[in-house]
Structure 1
Amino acid sequence: MEHVSECGTPFKNKSFASFVLRHGLNKYFKGTSEEEFKRLLGEKVSKSSARLPVKFPMANSALPDNFDSRRKWPQCRWMKFIRDQSNCGSCWAVASASVMSDRQCTFSGGSVQPYISDEHILACCTGVCGSGYICTCYPKTKLNKCVYSRCNGGDKAEAFAYWKKNGVPTGGPFGSTFGCQPYSIQCKGCPMAPTPKCTDQCIPQYRIPFEQSVFYESCLILDTMSLGAEIYHVPRSDVMIMHEMYNNGPVTASFIVYEDFTYYKKGVYKHMWGKYSGRHAVRVIGWGVENSNGTDLPYWLITNSWNTTWGMNGLVKFYRGVNECGIENNIVTGIPRIYV
């Protein structure tokens, strides 16, 4: 059985005799070609990313065997939400905006709960944030049109730097009107989407002016920008990453994607087969241990940006503690300074 879009080569289904409980065809990728899938993997690592400071979290608490940020901070509504990057390589912007939203909530004790705009980061964080060209195919004419596009990837570390320097307005999912700049890219389809245009205006349905909708990394800005907030890497240590999340909330991570990740359904993911596809950015919200055939498998609990029709209703349990696919290499996050 194979599934093919009109823009590319078939993305072939596989036989999973030994992984029947873990793999299968996800509805999210029905009709998606292999070429289109690779374009969704938009995490880039810039040279400036390496200059971010490394911060060691406080390790003054005993860590539980299982932890879910959604349970520790139940008042944070958007922590439970699964975003959808649609047909754009914007995982870096979506994961970053998700963590920014979460940490505005955790550091304010739930009194500040914005849906930070991934749309704005994608559209306005130019230059260092993202680079490259994306080529859109048109089936009727069989022609390609290539344009500069951050839908072709970006750096989550630079997204956090943009948050600190310029501020980011509120947003929302595609079709929503409760935020200043909601995501404008419609759910998956062909051709691949271009990068949205950067604007300093809110959608007409949103009544709060843009200037009063901007969340800086340090505070909610009304008149001037406050200073003193932090953005940083977390050390490449599962224990340090766990302490960081336990103390402060979710973090962003990125990893190398192989073909088998596409078919993940449930269980603890470990790369088993398939060729290299690209790099992907995600939000890590917790950890745990799952027993499989008498073996305890430690995992990271991760929310992806491929809607709820992929994986475990949008989540994945990712093998923890061995830097699987580089998952523990590049943990980036930030601390907001909240004034309430």
Structure 2
Amino acid sequence: MRLWPRPRGAQNPLSPILLLVSQILSLFDLSLARGFHGIPGKYCSVRSPTCCENRDDECTAPILGDHLCYCDMFCDRGPHGGNDCCPDFYATCRGQADVPRALSGSECTLNGVRYYEGDEIKQNCESCICLYGVWKCDETACLIQPDILERINSGRYSWTGRNYSQFWGRTLADGIQYRLGTLFPERSVQNMNEIEIKTRDLPEHFDARQKWPGLIHPVLDQGDCGSSWTVSTTTISSDRLAIITDGKINAVLSPQHLLSCNQHRQRGCEGGYLDRAWWYIRKLGSGQGLTCPSGNNDSTAYKMTPPYRISSKEEDIMTEIITNGPVQATFIVHEDFFSYVSGVYQYSHLAESKGSRFTAEGYHSVRVIGWGIDYSTGRPIKYWLAANSWGENWGEQGFFRILRGENHCEFESFVIGAWGKGAKRRRRFKMRKLRRRMRKFF
């Protein structure tokens, strides 16, 4: 409100009532005058003209009896000066539904901090604005949903969750796009013949790290790159090469090499097909320090046999793991899986009650290294033990357990194994072509 005279144009004096209100507001340490916002009625919208360009001391409308509010552009001169616009100025003259900060007289608080009208903040992944003393958020689905996390940790579930700092503030769409990355196999791949496995006596618990100490490679972190297709393929290849050679070849095949070079009908950090990844390693190999086929650096390339599919019977999968080493499993990741920290994961379905935009799913491939039975909940729960590719600070030091024997999240529907072929020196393609040409002359 213009509580002091402008350099030109007379003003009505303050009434005792408004003076009293002003003194009360000062007691609450409100450093900015709140103006006329929020007072009902039509002011600028019933004038002729409705609004005035620049500064016009006559561009007014009566309000609160003997007072005036303004419809000129000077009244909207910023949060530290403009406080005498009419209540409908922003809707009539600016075409805005919202009002600038500190003009409405309303405040919002968050974690003990006071915010003014129009202030914008980020709450998790949501953009929020203070309007009429209430936070209005855009309701974007976040990767970490605190209400779901609280219900899981306080409810009777077989697993617990955690608020991960690397996921906080990210959208659910980000998680599906950048933290998974295995594309659903094409029909021809889905129809792969399953190998016949002669089952054997199986223990209640098994961990490949205990049977082959030092030969099962650490958990990796794919970062913000939808590349589980390359991480799972190369880590399983590394494990199986080490196992089949009794540790003589204990190399770490490079996910980055496969990601950079295996580009034919692949999508890089936006996802890839497992069959094409295995084709590349079978034909061209992978390893550390390798360039793509068009490069000129020699290095040791390790190759694998063609992959084979294992049936969805849990006994067949268990027999394959205990006999030949870790296998590759593709499964559906739901929105609550990102917050997993311990226990035996089972999809909670909790987000479904909030609406479809709070649910999402995508395919992910991981390395399965064992199995067991969990008795901590009072009833036995069979599980698979798998290595994820989100770093060691996620889950159980990078690993997770998931319900076994029920094809939960399609975990047992597409399981792959392969044999290691050992090392072979890669020759430069240019040199190979040169030798072929030389043979013509000799």
Asked if TM exceeds 0.5, the reply is yes
Other-structure match for 2:262: 125
Distance in 2 between residues matched to 1:159 and 1:307, nearest whole Å: 22
Q: Relative contact order (alpha carbons < 8 A, sep ≥ 6): 1 or 2 greater?
A: 1
Larger Rg: 1 or 2? 2
Cα distance change, pair 101–46 in 1 and its aligned pair in 2 (3 A): same
Alignment RMSD: 2.4
Amino acid of the structure 1 residue aligned with 2:333: V
Say if 2:190 is the partner of 1:72: no
Amino acid of the structure 2 residue aligned with 1:13: P
Distance apart, 1:199 and its partner CA: 6.3
Amino acid of the structure 2 residue aligned with 1:289: I
TM-score normalised by structure 2 residue count: 0.58
Distance in 2 between residues matched to 1:74 and 1:115, nearest whole Å: 15
Residue 90 of structure 1 contacts residue 153 of structure 1 at CA under 8 Å; is this kept in 2?
A: yes
TM-score normalised by structure 1 residue count: 0.75
Distance in 1 between residues matched to 2:234 and 2:411, nearest whole Å: 19
Distance apart, 1:339 and its partner CA: 7.1
Runs of 4+ in 1 over 4 A off after TM superposition: 197-201
Say if 2:207 is the partner of 1:89: no
Please give the residue correspondences for 1:105-254 in structure 2 after superposition, counting only pairs within 5 Å. 105-128=242-265, 130=266, 149-170=267-288, 180=289, 198=292, 201=295, 210-217=297-304, 229-254=305-330
Residue 27 of structure 1 contacts residue 310 of structure 1 at CA under 8 Å; is this kept in 2?
A: no
**Which deviations, in whole Å up to 9, do the C-alpha atoms of 1:189-219 show, x marking residues without a partner?**
xxxxxxxx95655xxxxxxx843321121xx
Say if 2:195 is the partner of 1:55: yes
> For 1:265, what is the secondary structure of its paired residue?
strand
Residue 208 of structure 2 contacts residue 369 of structure 2 at CA under 8 Å; is this kept in 1?
A: yes
**Which deviations, in whole Å up to 9, do the C-alpha atoms of 1:260-287 show, x marking residues without a partner?**
1111111100111232321111110100
Distance in 2 between residues matched to 1:85 and 1:254, nearest whole Å: 16
Residue 303 of structure 2 contacts residue 423 of structure 2 at CA under 8 Å; is this kept in 1?
A: no
Distance in 2 between residues matched to 1:155 and 1:245, nearest whole Å: 23
Residue 49 of structure 1 contacts residue 158 of structure 1 at CA under 8 Å; is this kept in 2?
A: no
Where structure 1 has 5 or more consecutive residues not aligned to the other structure, the ranges are: 131-148, 171-179, 182-196, 202-208, 218-228
Distance in 2 between residues matched to 1:312 and 1:81, nearest whole Å: 13
Distance in 2 between residues matched to 1:321 and 1:27, nearest whole Å: 33
**Which deviations, in whole Å up to 9, do the C-alpha atoms of 1:230-250 show, x marking residues without a partner?**
411111111000000000000
Cα distance change, pair 212–198 in 1 and its aligned pair in 2 (3 A): closer
Residue 230 of structure 1 contacts residue 336 of structure 1 at CA under 8 Å; is this kept in 2?
A: no
Distance apart, 1:10 and its partner CA: 3.9
> For 2:242, what is the secondary structure of its paired residue?
helix
Please give the residue correspondences for 1:307-318 in structure 2 after superposition, counting only pairs within 5 Å. 307-318=391-402
> For 1:22, what is the secondary structure of its paired residue?
strand
Distance in 1 between residues matched to 2:285 and 2:423, nearest whole Å: 15
Residue 371 of structure 2 contacts residue 385 of structure 2 at CA under 8 Å; is this kept in 1?
A: yes
Count of residue correspondences: 275
Other-structure match for 1:206: none
Distance in 2 between residues matched to 1:309 and 1:276, nearest whole Å: 23
Percent of residue pairs identical: 29
Please give the residue correspondences for 1:264-283 in structure 2 after superposition, counting only pairs within 5 Å. 264-273=340-349, 274=351, 275-283=359-367
Distance apart, 1:5 and its partner CA: 8.7
Residue 217 of structure 2 contacts residue 239 of structure 2 at CA under 8 Å; is this kept in 1?
A: no
> For 1:280, what is the secondary structure of its paired residue?
strand
Other-structure match for 1:35: 173
Distance in 1 between residues matched to 2:251 and 2:297, nearest whole Å: 14
Distance apart, 1:29 and its partner CA: 1.5
Say if 2:137 is the partner of 1:3: no
Distance in 2 between residues matched to 1:118 and 1:80, nearest whole Å: 13
Cα distance change, pair 5–101 in 1 and its aligned pair in 2 (3 A): farther
Residue 256 of structure 1 contacts residue 276 of structure 1 at CA under 8 Å; is this kept in 2?
A: no
Partner of residue 305 from structure 1, selected from 384, 389, 392: 389
> For 2:257, what is the secondary structure of its paired residue?
helix
Distance apart, 1:51 and its partner CA: 4.9
Residue 24 of structure 1 contacts residue 265 of structure 1 at CA under 8 Å; is this kept in 2?
A: yes
Amino acid of the structure 2 residue aligned with 1:107: I
> For 2:230, what is the secondary structure of its paired residue?
helix
